[in-house]
Amino acid sequence: TPWTLPANLGVMVNPEFDYVFLDNGKKVFIVAKELLESFKEKTGIEGNVIKEVKGRELEFLEYKHPFIDRVSKIYLSEFVELGTGTGLVHMAPGHGQEDYVIGQRYGVEPFAPVDDEGRFTKEAPEFIQGLRVFDANEPIIEKLKEVGALLHHETIKHSYPHCWRCKNPVIFRATPQWFIAMDAVLENGNTLRGEAIKEIERVKWIPHWGENRIKSMVENRPDWCISRQR
C-alpha cells in the first residue's frame, strides 16, 4: 500500500530465489527470475540479462529512497513470495508484523510517522503531513511519478483487516507496549510459561476439554502484551 512508503526502511528478498539483472541500456533492474516476463509485460521494459544471483547475494546492497533523503539496505526474508510484482518487497517495520520481525532480526528499529488519529506527523514528508493515511495513497503515487520512480501501478482486489467493532479498516502501527516475558527464567529455575502450565494442570476443569484448550494457548503464545489498545 502506497501510504506505508514514507516508513520504508528496507527491501526484502528471498535468499533462495534466483534474481536477474536486466539492463535496458539506461538502467539496470533487479527482478526475480520467475517474474521477469511478467515484469517486462507490465512495464514495457526490455533489455538483456547481464547477471543472475541468488537472493542471499543481494543482502546489504544499498538503495536510495525515491522521495526521502534516506539510504537503506536489502535484507533477506523467508516471507517473500513469487505471486506477483518483482520478488523484491518494500519493508516498513512500523507498519507490518512480518516487516517488524525482519527488522528486529537485522536491528532495524520500527518507524511509523502516524499519530493516534491515523494522520501523518511532521516526521513524514511535507506533502502528506496532516493527511489521513488512506488519503495519502494518491499523493504518494503522484510523487513517485514526479520523481520518475514509478514503473507501473495497478489496483488489485484483496482482503483487508477491519475492526470487528466499528467495521472500519484498520492500520498497523508499531507503538511502545509492555510485555510479560513468557520464557524468562524465574528464581526457581522454571519459566512463567512452565509455571502457568503447572497451575493449569492443578485445576479441575468443567468441561474437561477446557484444560487442553487453555494449555495449548499458553504453550504456544508469544510474549504476553498487557498494555495493548484497540
Domain-by-domain residue ranges, the chain? Answer: 2-146, 179-225
Handedness of CA 27, 145, 14, 110 (dihedral sign): positive
What is the helix, strand, coil percentage profile of the chain, to 5? 30, 20, 50
Tens digit of each residue's pLDDT (9 = 90 or more) over 153-194: 988 888 888 988 888 888 999 998 999 999 999 999 999 999
CA–CA distance, 18 with 211 (Å, rounded to integer): 47
Strand-strand pairing, 88-91 and 10-13:
antiparallel
For domain 2-146, give its CATH number from 3.40.30.10, 3.40.1360.10, 3.20.20.150, 3.90.740.10: 3.90.740.10
Beta bridge partners of 35: none
CA–CA distance, 117 with 102 (Å, rounded to integer): 27
Q: What are phi and psi of 64, to 5 degrees?
A: -105, 135
SS3 47: coil
Cα distance between the two ends of the chain: 22
C-alpha cell of residue 170 = 484498520
Nearest Cα to 218, choosing from 188, 196, 185, 191? Answer: 196
- Taking only Cα atoms into account, the Rg of the chain, rounded to an integer number of angstroms, comes to 22
Beta bridge partners of 38: none
Whether residue 78 is predicted with pLDDT greater than 80 in this model: the reply is yes
- As a whole number, mean pLDDT of residues 110-131 equals 97
Q: What are phi and psi of 172, to 5 degrees?
A: -95, 130
How high is the mean pLDDT of the chain?
Answer: 95
Tens digit of each residue's pLDDT (9 = 90 or more) over 57-77: 999 999 999 999 999 999 999
Nearest Cα to 43, choosing from 174, 149, 176? Answer: 149
Global pTM value: 0.84
- As a whole number, mean pLDDT of residues 197-203 equals 95
